[in-house]
């Protein structure tokens, strides 16, 4: 995993237990089946075969056998393969091959609750009135799992799922998410309303500042 616009570290997992000299090895990384990302040709970096979008964006740490991919973007997500060939009697032989999958993460903004005005004045003695709320978060990646609401009053708490709208920016590929909730106006008791953005098991959740009614 790598954060958007940061450096991604792709490991080749090559133990080099034979302590083979780098001058006898050809190391190259490719994405998918046809894009050459980086090549070290018998000790020298070689740029002739690189896919244009990776030129000047990669560095190889030959001690850790790790490729640094600079300024990682969402288009860089995918599977990378590291292939190492050893020159034996003039002809190269593949001695190591490994793959790693790159996932990009962009942080969503903290979810924010807004009161959508209905155009009518609300009063506590009109219990049949409704609150229209929205909760929004933007600029994140990958696509969120869902957005939920938590309503707490006195000793009770219950969760609700409103109508959630997820959109993706055509250029940046980042996601924006908004959920709308329509609930009766709370009467006589302090009610706290929070909104949660669920990003998946490994990324956890983001929570809004609670709205007190």
Tens digit of each residue's pLDDT (9 = 90 or more) over 16-75: 877 888 888 889 999 988 899 999 888 888 888 889 899 999 999 888 899 999 999 999
Domains of the chain with bracketed CATH: 2-105 (2.60.40.10), 109-212 (2.60.40.10)
Q: For residue 77, what is the DSSP state? A: -
pLDDT for position 118: 59
Contacts 24+ apart (CB under 8 A), 83-88: 83/27, 83/28, 83/29, 83/30, 84/12, 84/14, 84/25, 84/26, 84/27, 85/25, 85/26, 85/27, 86/20, 86/24, 86/25, 87/24, 87/25, 87/26, 87/42
Contacts of 72 (CB under 8 A, 6+ apart): 2, 3, 4, 5, 6, 7, 8, 102, 104
Judged against a pLDDT cut of 70, whether residue 187 lies above it is answered with yes
Give the whole-angstrom CA distance, residue 95 versus residue 124. Answer: 76
- Residue 125 pLDDT greater than 80, yes or no: no
Tokens of 22: 């780098």
Q: How confident is the model at residue 128 (pLDDT cuts 50, 70, 90)?
A: low
Q: pLDDT-based confidence at 162, cuts 50/70/90?
A: confident
Q: DSSP 3-state assignment of 141? A: strand
- What are the angstrom distances between the C-alpha of 102 and each of 4, 99, 144? 11, 10, 18
Q: Which has the minimum average pLDDT: 6-20, 70-84, 109-123, 138-152?
A: 109-123
Confidence of residue 188 (pLDDT cuts 50, 70, 90): confident
In the structure, how many helices (H) and strands (E) does the chain have? 0, 19
Closest CA to 147 of 170, 173, 175: 175
Mean pLDDT of 198-207: 88
- Euclidean distance between CA atoms 211 and 213, whole angstroms: 7
Q: State how far the Cα of 74 lies from the Cα of 33, in Å rounded to an integer.
A: 19
- pLDDT class of 130 with cuts at 50, 70, 90: confident
Residue 204 predicted with pLDDT over 80: yes
């Amino acid at each position: 995993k790598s954060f958007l616009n940061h450096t991604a570290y792709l490991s080749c997992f090559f133990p080099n237990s034979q302590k083979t000299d780098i001058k006898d090895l050809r190391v190259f990384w490719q994405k998918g089946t046809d894009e050459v990302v980086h090549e070290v040709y018998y000790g020298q970096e070689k740029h002739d075969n690189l896919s244009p979008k990776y030129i000047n964006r990669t560095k190889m740490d030959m001690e850790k056998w790790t490729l640094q991919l600079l300024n990682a973007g969402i288009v860089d997500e995918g599977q990378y393969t590291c292939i190492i060939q050893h020159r034996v009697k003039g002809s190269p032989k593949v001695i190591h091959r490994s793959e790693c999958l790159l996932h990009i993460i962009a942080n969503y903004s903290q979810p924010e609750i807004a009161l959508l005005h209905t155009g009518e004045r609300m009063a506590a003695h009109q219990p049949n009135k409704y609150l229209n709320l929205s909760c929004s978060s933007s600029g994140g990646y990958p696509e969120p799992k869902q957005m939920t609401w938590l309503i707490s009053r006195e000793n009770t708490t219950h969760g609700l799922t409103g109508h959630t709208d997820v959109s993706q920016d055509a250029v940046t590929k980042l996601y924006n998410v908004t959920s709308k909730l329509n609930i009766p106006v709370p009467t006589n008791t302090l009610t706290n309303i929070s909104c949660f953005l669920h990003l998946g098991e490994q990324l956890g959740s983001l929570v809004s500042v609670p709205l007190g009614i």
